[in-house]
Amino acid sequence: MAKKNFHSVPWDGDWAVKKEGVDKPISVHRTQSASEDKTQKLAKQNEAEAVYHNRQGQIKDKDSYGNDPHPPIDRKH
């Protein structure tokens, strides 16, 4: 079974952590940083991908955790 990714997304003036494919947020945070920290923690615990969105809802960054048989080349770090 495929693992679901976790997203940090804008949510009614705040920031939410959502599991991919689920409408209801797991948690809502006042800051983007707090939302991204929780997203990263969940992705690590579940060996999934953390997907970070900007204020406009566009993907700004991703991090994979766990066993990736075809890891991408990280050109940022």
- When divided into structural domains, the chain yields a total of 1
Q: How many CB atoms lie within 10 A of CB 57?
A: 9
pLDDT in tens, the chain (77 residues): 456 899 999 999 999 999 999 999 999 999 999 999 999 999 999 999 999 999 999 999 999 998 766 666 766 65
CB 51 within 8 A of CB 8: yes
User: CA angle 20-33-21, nearest 5°?
Assistant: 5
Q: What is the pTM of this model?
A: 0.83
CB 50 within 8 A of CB 39: yes
Report if residue 77 sits inside a domain. no
* Cα distances (angstroms) measured from residue 51 to each of 59, 73: 7, 16
Q: Which domain holds residue 46?
A: 6-52
Give the SS3 label for residue 32: helix
Report if residue 65 sits inside a domain. no
Report if residue 26 sits inside a domain. yes
